[in-house]
Amino acid sequence: LIAVGSELLSAGRRDSNAHWLAERLDRLGIALVARGLVVDESERIASLLAAALRRSELIVVTGGIGPTADDVTREAVARALDRPLERDLEQVNRLMRRFAAFGRRFGPEQLKQADRPRGATWIDNPRGSAPGLLVIQDNTILCVLPGVPSEMKAMFLATLEPELERRSRRSFARSVLKIAGRSEPSVDRAIADLYDAPGREITILSGIGGIELLLRTDGADAEAARSALESVEREIRRRLGVDIFGRDDDTLAEVVGALLLERHLTLSTAESCTGGLLGAAVTGVPGSSAWYRGGLVVYSDALKQDLAGVSSSTLVSAGAVSEATAVELARGARHRCGSDIGVGVTGVAGPGGGTDQKPVGRVHLALSDADADLHWQMDLPGDRADVRGRSVTVALDRLRRHLLARGHVR
Amino acid sequence: LIAVGSELLSAGRRDSNAHWLAERLDRLGIALVARGLVVDESERIASLLAAALRRSELIVVTGGIGPTADDVTREAVARALDRPLERDLEQVNRLMRRFAAFGRRFGPEQLKQADRPRGATWIDNPRGSAPGLLVIQDNTILCVLPGVPSEMKAMFLATLEPELERRSRRSFARSVLKIAGRSEPSVDRAIADLYDAPGREITILSGIGGIELLLRTDGADAEAARSALESVEREIRRRLGVDIFGRDDDTLAEVVGALLLERHLTLSTAESCTGGLLGAAVTGVPGSSAWYRGGLVVYSDALKQDLAGVSSSTLVSAGAVSEATAVELARGARHRCGSDIGVGVTGVAGPGGGTDQKPVGRVHLALSDADADLHWQMDLPGDRADVRGRSVTVALDRLRRHLLARGHVR
């Protein structure tokens, strides 16, 4: 993958096209061996392209095919292929008709969009003016698409993806298993002996929202690949059990929501250190109003009392960051918001406010329902954003386990 | 910049080293012309390196210099430079002493870390075993660092950065101006004539949290560069005025917090569609407990009444997504949480729940203080996450303007 455009190399920019393309190619079973970003300079682009042409079966270039002087990708492709750049009069007519249909002026600067290296075919651009290019040389496919994400995606899906699917020689299946409540080394150890098997790939990714296992299996045909995937998934599920909270695009908040819905239960929250982040995660799920009533963000001690009903004696004796306060927050959320289950979170998010007894990262979490109050104390690593984010993950995961343990109530 | 490592090309992975390095190089005034990621294959790495060597003054390679069979960067560098790879016996001794000091076994697989292309010098790795490499050939510096971020950063800062600073021929200054309450095309039009000036670079970035203008000026010396920066900043500030909310690392929530502190005022929130996201943004600021009391997340109509005090007649006549409800939410937040200012947000975040009268993206925002109630109606673009995120940005920005308009109260 080669992305062309000086603006892409500005600090702080992300090349979202590459991430989208990598994901689509991965689904097609195409291994990505290199990707690059390069400024709008014809010789640099050509030099990268020439290196890629020597070693890859598929090269996708995005960007630099518009009408401006900066747009030099067509020229660079011709140079890398050592073919002349030729103006296609049919394409000129097509562009002029297109511009006329949209009532836009067709200026001479637009003409270069009808230039292509000898032997290249056009890829129609249904959403913009610049057409793409396709070159097949020996065993290599070189494809040039616009940098505008909506145009690039539409053209890839309409033209390139079917062609690649047709050429694909391997069958494979893939899934993502999502894990919470367990450290990365512990997951790694639990499945270490499963990594080394032919036709199987397991990648472990770790983040604030949990751990992901990317699974991928090859097979003689789609059925064999799927069956190999099922077998490795089954084995991992046997080992990690309830620590696996979901699959593919599932989120913890969605899984919790589905469990609550199934059990006809409703939820509310009372947050101190997370300051609304737990409510935001829960309400990020479309339709969450069916099972989430609302929440209290109680940042001051006065509000912890007035709004959530934490007793002043608890705040004085145990302090705002304590088991007792977390439990009273959970109860308060439940009563104030009229829900079946209440969650309370209080802690020291940092960077200031830590003490020897209550260091930065110390978080108390509580759940309250009609049967009981539950409590957990944690010391979470990282900066303010990490501590807050991890608190939300743990809260949702504990809630999930609690709901699973309660079983299915009708 | 070339990052080596098959794992970096997995779908979903981000190359955080490249972003860090791009930022450091940018500060040094070094223009990044290309960056790439490549799998652990010696010939591919060498081919990319050879292309880079022909066209760049500085090449930084990260990753692939550990002791495992996968680590082929040293070999690839020697191949690209067309120099032999030689084992340095002094480095072997240094590694053995190092391993002995840490009580680790020095196995034969570690030996390759003492191999370097002829003429390369070592870069000491204070945090790990693999030393880096520095090659200076004609006018080109080629530097090889480990892929482990903490090791890479320490070595870059200790060794490469001082060397690059010494060689730097240009003086420059930079800043970021942050803008809210204005569209990207409108900002673009307002400053279009400022883009084209020698020794000056203006980049516009747009996101859910607002618009950023990255400014950069060159000068004969540091003083001249800074003075050129001040002059372009002054001109942009003159044109955009109060739409500029901050500079460099400022966030809207921080700016709002500073204004509240200055005015000895406190804030609270009542959120429906944003579900806690506004509270989370506000409490993301360290020390926000000095000016933020807390908030209500009222997802159900019952809670809008019971907790925030929205009247049932308002909910029946105007509906939950309405000016009247937003205003009553803002008042309710203020009264319930005992703050000087209350903010209320209600809207249709989607994807479901939209109607002809109240489409997805419709958001009502209100502010309430002792003097008055203010209200804004918006139709925000994008998906659920966009609508919610943009609602938070607009809420904070309106609050900021309100505080500025109130003036400085002591």
Residue-wise pLDDT tens digits, A98-126: 888 888 888 888 899 999 999 999 999 98
Q: Tokens 């292509």 map to which residue?
A: A116
Q: Which residue of B has its CA nearest to A205?
A: B13
Alpha-carbon distance of A198 to A185, in angstroms, equals 23
pLDDT at B11: 61
Which of A40, A249, A299, A305 to mutate against chain B (most B CBs within 10 Å)? A299
Within 8 A of A310 by CB-CB distance, chain B residues are none
- Residue A55 corresponds to which amino acid? R
Nearest-angstrom CA–CA distance, A77 and A45: 8
Return the closest-CA partner of residue A187 out of A251, A245, A125.
A245
The C-alpha atoms of residue B259 and residue B408 are separated, in whole angstroms, by: 9
Please tell me if residue B37 touches chain A, with a CB cutoff of 8 Å: yes
Which residues 194-253 of B have a C-beta within 8 angstroms of A?
A: 203, 205, 212, 214
How many Å lie between the alpha carbon of B134 and the closest alpha carbon of chain A?
23
Tens of pLDDT along A219-278? Answer: 888 899 999 999 999 999 999 999 999 999 899 999 999 999 999 999 999 999 999 999
Within 350-389 of A, beta carbons closer than 8 Å to B belong to: 350-352, 384-385, 388
Mind telling me how many Å the CA of A352 is from chain B's nearest CA? Answer: 8
Cβ separation B303–A296 shorter than 8 A: no
Average of per-residue pLDDT values in chain B: 92
> Which among A25, A176, A271, A297 is the top mutation candidate for probing chain B, defined by the most B β-carbons within 10 Å of its own β-carbon?
A297
Question: What residues form DSSP beta bridges with A403?
Answer: none
Question: Which of B289, B383, B273, B277 lies closest to B322 in space, CA to CA?
Answer: B273
Task: Give yes or no for A32 touching B (CB within 8 A).
Answer: yes
Q: Which residues of A touch B282 (CB under 8 A)?
A: 275-276
Q: Is A290 on the interface with B (CB under 8 A)?
A: no
Residues in A closer than 8 angstroms to B384, CB to CB, are: 284, 286
Nearest residue to A39 (alpha-carbon basis) of A59, A60, A19, A63: A63
Q: How far is Cα A278 from Cα A267, in angstroms, rounded to an integer?
A: 12
Instruction: Judge whether A392 is closer than 8 Å to chain B, CB to CB.
Output: no
What are the tens digits of pLDDT across the range A178-219? 999 998 889 989 998 998 888 898 888 888 899 999 898 988
Tell me the nearest-neighbour CA distance from A193 into chain B, angstroms.
19
pTM of the model: 0.79
pLDDT of residue B408: 62
**A36–B55 C-beta distance less than 8 A:** no
Beta strands in A249-361, from DSSP E residues, in sequence order:
267-271, 292-298, 341-347
Closest chain B residue to A26 measured between Cα atoms? B11
Whether residue A254 lies within 8 A of chain B, CB to CB, comes out as no
Q: How far is B325 from chain A (nearest CA, A)?
A: 16
What's residue B410's pLDDT?
Answer: 46
Q: For residue range B121-166, what is the model confidence (pLDDT) as tens digits?
A: 999 998 888 899 999 988 899 999 999 888 999 999 999 999 888 8
For residue A231 the two structure tokens come to 């077998």
- Going residue by residue through chain B (410 aa), what tens digit of pLDDT does each one get? 999 998 888 766 677 899 899 989 988 888 899 999 999 999 999 999 999 998 899 999 999 998 888 899 999 999 999 999 999 999 999 999 988 888 888 888 889 999 999 999 999 998 888 899 999 988 899 999 999 888 999 999 999 999 888 887 668 888 999 999 998 889 989 998 998 888 898 888 888 899 999 898 988 888 999 999 999 999 999 999 999 999 998 999 999 999 999 999 999 999 999 999 999 999 999 999 999 999 999 999 999 999 999 999 999 999 999 999 999 999 999 999 999 999 999 999 999 999 999 999 999 999 999 999 999 999 998 899 999 999 999 999 999 999 999 876 54
User: What is the rounded average pLDDT of the residues A67-92?
Assistant: 94
Q: Which residues of chain A lie closer than 8 angstroms to B288, CB-CB? A: 275, 299
